[in-house]
Structure 1
Amino acid sequence: MNPVVKSLSVERTLSRSADKFLMIQPTQEQAEEAVRTLLLWAGDDPSREGLLDTPRRVAKAYREFYKGYDEDPEEILDRVFEEVEGYQDMILVRDIPFYSHCEHHMVPFVGKAHIGYYPSKGVVGLSKLARLVDVFARRLQTQETMTAQIAQAIEKALKPRGVAVLVEAEHMCMSMRGVQKQGSSTMTTQYAGLFKDATEQVRFFSMVKSPGL
């Protein structure tokens, strides 16, 4: 077994709601050594000039790619503004760009998220919804899970009368490998509350796809 893998101490405990993992995070040195192992496995020489600093760069990049694990969606949505002069209609933030990484192959998928909700007791700052997308995108993901997580976080924090999330993305695991179909896209949706009604779904989708300004 790889010594890097052996050095990880992982304890798994089961709960009724989900599997919980208690993990000792590898050191920077262990992460860099793992990258060197992959470079060797790919057929290159990690000691050559062009790759000498690659392990450090990759480890640094991973901290940025997956920083969502260190962020709490509840903290992002914790401030609600109630003084909205009785506004009760849909709030839509569309075309929120994101990139994430497929948990199956660890290659990127890139796209846009669109979030709509009917407020109940208040609203959050519009930028908070964009930050919420990043919290879940900056993790190893499937698009389906990410879509559901965004909607569930909004439901839990805001308790809106309805929430709708539409995510569309191109997956590099489908474009770069396997069937290699560049340009194909995947669309996922999650609806709750008022958006369970088909009429509201049509309105949401029409607003997302309208020409805009």
Structure 2
Amino acid sequence: MVDNFRRSIIANKAEAMVNGSVTGDNGVVLTEIPFLAQVNIRGNSDDKKFVAGVKSVTGLAVPTTPNSYVTKGDLTIFWLSPDEWQIIGPVDAQNDLVAKLRDALSGQHVAVIDVSGNRTTLELSGAQARNVMKKSCRLDMDPQSFVPGQVVQTRVAKAPVILQMLDDKPVFRMFVRPSFAEYLVDWLLDAMSEYRYSA
């Protein structure tokens, strides 16, 4: 049905991402993971009721270490600031998450907001992914400096993103606003292009 039809904001870039990706031992691959559930929560991590309420829904305590994230099953919680977190979940899980969180945190001075439409997700992976990121982001991307378990709000190619390091293969995820998504894809594909011709 038409009512259930969804199209990614960068669906027109899907073919370019496939053609621009390089597989193999010296490769780098760019893909989109659209429509992930994204729920922003504000609260006080020193408040035991708040922490317990979030944990009762997600199975996770909100992380308190800056620029870190925690994961259990298919849910992840990003630390964004001392009183702000973002929960990332499976596609279409946002309504259930919001309802359960609001119920668990009822009566507390908190905010629970569905921001799923606010960003799409790009994933950059492969042996050369870190080198592409070094060309695209001012953060120190050396393996000793940016490691799995870290998440930061930064700029990649001048586009504001939430940047997550998933593992040391390496795999990076960039949560980018729709207005910057097409530009960021073009930038990354250009940065990846040299690896199509390397030995």
**Which interval holds the TM-score relative to the shorter structure?**
under 0.3
Output the TM-score relative to the length of structure 2.
Answer: 0.25
Greater strand proportion: 2
Output the TM-score relative to the length of structure 1.
Answer: 0.24
Which has more radius of gyration?
1
Greater helix proportion: 1
